[in-house]
């Protein structure tokens, strides 16, 4: 049976609304000169790098020492990005990250890329990645470790879709 929480957090590339109050983790992003194109805005290809940095930061902050990268690890299976507003030269940005779904062998991480200006955040893009748990020594998928599920649920609270 699909519950209301599951339906609320399902990802649609065409209709993806972010609620910044759900995001407890924030990663500031250092923009570099190489990130900009001839129009002096951040090129869209860089957003995957920003969410990769945020994902690494989130996993290290939330799971801490619970990952054995050889045996109990994860692999990126899917990434989708919705671009909403351009980021211009000299603007400040950051990425809010949360675990939005836990499955049997995979989990979703949702991202809100925000512009920081005058104490406010404006979402410039949002994204979702599907992370599949993986054992690199055996080269096969594995179930999401129960300990990870417990940690994600404790960190995210009731908003996490199971």
pTM: 0.86
- Calculate helix-pair angle for 46-63, 146-156, nearest 10 degrees: 100
Residue 45 pLDDT greater than 60, yes or no: yes
Higher-scoring residue by pLDDT: 69, 27: 27
3-state secondary structure of 83: strand
Nearest to 111 by CA among 162, 49, 30: 49
Q: DSSP code of 70?
A: T
pLDDT of residue 42: 96
Least confident range from 42-56, 63-77, 115-129: namely 63-77
User: Which CATH class for the 22-150 domain?
Assistant: alpha beta
pLDDT of residue 113: 97
Instruction: For the chain, state the CA radius of gyration.
Output: 16
CA separation for the pair 158, 23 (Å, rounded): 12
Structure tokens at 86: 């351009």
Domain ranges of the chain: 22-150
Quick one: the chain helix, strand, coil %, rounded to 5?
A: 25, 40, 35
What lies within 8 Å, CB to CB, of 123 at 6+ separation is 18, 20, 84, 85, 112, 113, 114, 115
């Amino acid at each position: 049976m699909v519950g209301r929480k599951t339906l609320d957090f399902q990802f649609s590339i065409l209709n993806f609304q972010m609620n910044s109050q759900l995001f407890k983790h924030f990663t500031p992003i250092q923009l570099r000169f190489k990130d900009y194109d001839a129009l002096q805005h951040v090129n869209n290809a860089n957003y995957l790098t920003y969410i990769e940095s945020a994902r690494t930061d989130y996993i290290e902050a939330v799971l801490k020492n619970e990952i054995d990268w050889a045996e109990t690890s994860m692999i990126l299976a899917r990434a989708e990005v919705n671009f909403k507003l351009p980021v211009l030269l000299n603007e400040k940005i950051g990425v809010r990250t949360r675990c939005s779904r836990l499955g049997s062998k995979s989990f979703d991480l949702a991202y809100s890329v925000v512009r920081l200006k005058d104490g406010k955040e404006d979402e410039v893009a949002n994204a979702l990645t599907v992370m599949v748990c993986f054992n690199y020594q055996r080269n096969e998928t594995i179930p999401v470790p129960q300990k990870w599920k417990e940690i994600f649920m404790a960190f995210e609270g009731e908003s996490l879709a199971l």
